[in-house]
A = this chain, B = another copy of it.
Amino acid sequence: MFEATKLGRTVSKEFYKEQEPDLRYQLLETQRRLAGSKIPVVVVVYGVDGAGKGEVVNLLNEWLDTRGMATYAFWDETREDQERPRYWRFWQSMPPRGQISILFGAWYMEPMQRRMQDLCTDAQLDDELKRIEEFERMLTEDGTLLVKFWFHLPKQEQKKRLKKLAADVHSRWKMEAKKPELPDYDKFEKISERVIRQTDNGLAPWFLIEATDRRYRDLTVGRTLLKAINTRLEQPDVVPHGSFSHAPSLPSEASALVTVLDHVDLTQTVDKVDYKKRLPKLQEELNLLAWDAYHKKRSCVLVFEGWDASGKGGAIRRVTTAIDARLYRSIQIAAPTDEEKAHHYLWRFWRHIPRAGRLTIYDRSWYGRVLVERVEGFANELEWRRAYSEINSFEEQLVESGIILAKFWIHISKEEQLQRFKDREAIPYKQHKITDEDWRNREKWDQYKGAVNEMVIRTSTEFAPWTLVAGNDKPFARLQVLETVCDALRKGLKGGHCDPHSLSPREDKR
């Protein structure tokens, strides 16, 4: 695979001097056009040690306007990073639309290094590469331009370079994060080939760069990047998309009137005496479980979805009043802010992923994509269809990192909703809780029902099942929620401590 990077191609000093100013000018012009577009650009820089990745990144910072770009290295993690799922830091480094992020090593570095040190097997590496492919497809389908550079050197050249670098006092800083011994070139090349082969595709191709001659390397990088951005700018509306034919349409709403929701037994109730006895007990248990989770550094994410007037707020309140205010955060999802709009729709949920030992409650969530955005047409069909697998992948990452996850759909009957709407309108201090929009949403009950049905079917996974809550009787619903949360915490905490950054915990499932 790396033959093409060992051809000994060079560029003369004169040619470089002649070409460089024009290239720089074109890059700046292109960057200026990019700023007015809706395209975020992610440049990944990786390859063998000594190939000059740092030099290239600094050069790009010199050529481009640094005001529209940012560079991220993932060499010294903060505790903020360590306390969250591995991909959290990559989400934090995503550029807003129209801007460029340059990522050193990005999501490739850690799996490569683990494999190099035999901390994982080939099969585990392959699993991780599948995750990477999913992640990159998700970005590109959202409109991100991904440009991935792999820098390569022949073995002898690398040896020469690294020796020279180590000896040169002025370049000592380039060796910062490096180990003193020479890397195992053959092993690295073998693993590289595996990595590139599995993550090289039409959406996010690798550009293998021969790095022996610096001028050749630099001109090639500049031109490749220029071409990639210009090509993408010419087709701003053509978002490339992979195949996601694995998601055949469910029967339309009309013919699927009996859904999973219809199996929820809405006649279930609890009597008042029983409720008053069980509620404080469950809350006390939850209080202790939350502290236990804190001490074991296990985080928890609770997702609440449900019909308008289904009693989401009341259920959430019974959970929050049980937990010390220092341990949880309650996030109400409404219209995105403009910073949030400038990113992938999942970005704003990643923002709030809790630190180790804390709990985040999402009052509405990423499921808006396949509910309100689907029904109201804010997301087109391609977008909401692929959201199912994006969401499954997102939740899988949360669970793998050790986060305890519970998802609730609070279900009520259409008649019950009507009754609650009317009640609200009749009570003066509840009138603000009912708006025209609620009535309009109600008219689309069947469409929403279809969407909820598909959502539950497609995203009720082994690692993140939905709990359908029988909501016609509010006390019953609240107890069901509290019991489910306690159960999830109790089960999750049996595992004790957990490293959110362990690679490929998927192996456990084999």
Residues of chain A whose beta carbon lies under 8 Å from any beta carbon of chain B: 25, 29, 32, 54, 57-58, 60-62, 65-68, 70-71, 73, 75, 78-80, 83, 102, 104, 170, 173, 176, 284, 287-288, 291, 313, 316-317, 320-321, 324-326, 329-330, 332, 337-339, 355, 363, 429, 432
**Which of B32, B67, B320, B321 makes the CB contact (< 8 A) with A363?**
B67
Look across to chain B and name the residue whose beta carbon is closest to the beta carbon of A177: B326
Main secondary structure of the interface of A (DSSP, over half): helix
**Which of B57, B170, B284, B317 makes the CB contact (< 8 A) with A66?**
B317
CB atoms of B326 and A75 under 8 A apart: yes
CB atoms of B324 and A173 under 8 A apart: yes
- Residues on B with C-beta less than 8 A from A25 are 429
CB atoms of A329 and B173 under 8 A apart: no
Look across to chain B and name the residue whose beta carbon is closest to the beta carbon of A29: B429
- Residues on B with C-beta less than 8 A from A337 are 337-339
CA distance A65 to B173 in the complex (A): 52
Could you pull out 27 A-B pairs where Cβ atoms are within 8 angstroms?
A29-B429, A32-B432, A57-B325, A57-B326, A58-B321, A58-B324, A58-B325, A62-B321, A65-B313, A66-B316, A66-B330, A70-B329, A71-B326, A73-B326, A78-B79, A78-B355, A79-B79, A104-B326, A173-B287, A173-B288, A173-B291, A173-B324, A176-B291, A337-B337, A337-B338, A338-B338, A338-B339
Indicate whether A325 sits within 8 Å of B432 (C-beta atoms), given known contacts A61-B320, A78-B79: no
Copies of this chain present in the complex amount to 2
CB atoms of B75 and A320 under 8 A apart: no
CB atoms of B104 and A61 under 8 A apart: no
CA distance A60 to B58 in the complex (A): 51
Least Cβ distance of A427 to chain B in Å? Answer: 11
- Residues on B with C-beta less than 8 A from A83 are 78
- Residues on B with C-beta less than 8 A from A325 are 54, 57-58, 60-61, 71, 102
Q: Beyond A70-B329, A73-B326: 9 further Cβ-contacts under 8 Å?
A: A54-B325, A62-B321, A67-B313, A67-B332, A68-B332, A71-B325, A170-B288, A173-B291, A337-B339
CB atoms of B70 and A321 under 8 A apart: no
**Which of B58, B68, B78, B338 makes the CB contact (< 8 A) with A80?**
B78
CB atoms of B429 and A54 under 8 A apart: no
- Residues on B with C-beta less than 8 A from A332 are 67-68
CA distance A355 to B72 in the complex (A): 13
Interface centre among A67, A288, A317 (most CB of B within 10 A): A67
- Residues on B with C-beta less than 8 A from A71 are 325-326
- Residues on B with C-beta less than 8 A from A79 are 78-80
- Residues on B with C-beta less than 8 A from A316 are 66
- Residues on B with C-beta less than 8 A from A284 are 170
Least Cβ distance of A477 to chain B in Å? Answer: 18
Look across to chain B and name the residue whose beta carbon is closest to the beta carbon of A332: B67
- Residues on B with C-beta less than 8 A from A75 are 326
- Residues on B with C-beta less than 8 A from A32 are 432
- Residues on B with C-beta less than 8 A from A339 are 337-339
Least Cβ distance of A289 to chain B in Å? Answer: 11
Least Cβ distance of A321 to chain B in Å? Answer: 4
Look across to chain B and name the residue whose beta carbon is closest to the beta carbon of A82: B79
- Residues on B with C-beta less than 8 A from A58 are 321, 324-325
Least Cβ distance of A92 to chain B in Å? Answer: 11
- Residues on B with C-beta less than 8 A from A68 are 332
- Residues on B with C-beta less than 8 A from A432 are 32
- Residues on B with C-beta less than 8 A from A287 are 173
- Residues on B with C-beta less than 8 A from A60 are 325
- Residues on B with C-beta less than 8 A from A104 are 326
Least Cβ distance of A44 to chain B in Å? Answer: 14
CA distance A486 to B458 in the complex (A): 59
Least Cβ distance of A290 to chain B in Å? Answer: 9
Interface centre among A70, A326, A338 (most CB of B within 10 A): A326
**Which of B29, B57, B73, B324 makes the CB contact (< 8 A) with A54?**
B324
- Residues on B with C-beta less than 8 A from A80 are 78-80
- Residues on B with C-beta less than 8 A from A176 are 291
CB atoms of B321 and A61 under 8 A apart: yes
**Which of B61, B78, B321 makes the CB contact (< 8 A) with A78?**
B78
- Residues on B with C-beta less than 8 A from A313 are 65, 67
Least Cβ distance of A308 to chain B in Å? Answer: 15
CA distance A93 to B338 in the complex (A): 20
Least Cβ distance of A292 to chain B in Å? Answer: 9
- Residues on B with C-beta less than 8 A from A355 are 78
- Residues on B with C-beta less than 8 A from A326 are 54, 57, 71, 73, 75, 104
CA distance A58 to B66 in the complex (A): 46
- Residues on B with C-beta less than 8 A from A317 are 62, 66
CA distance A353 to B394 in the complex (A): 30
CB atoms of A330 and B67 under 8 A apart: yes
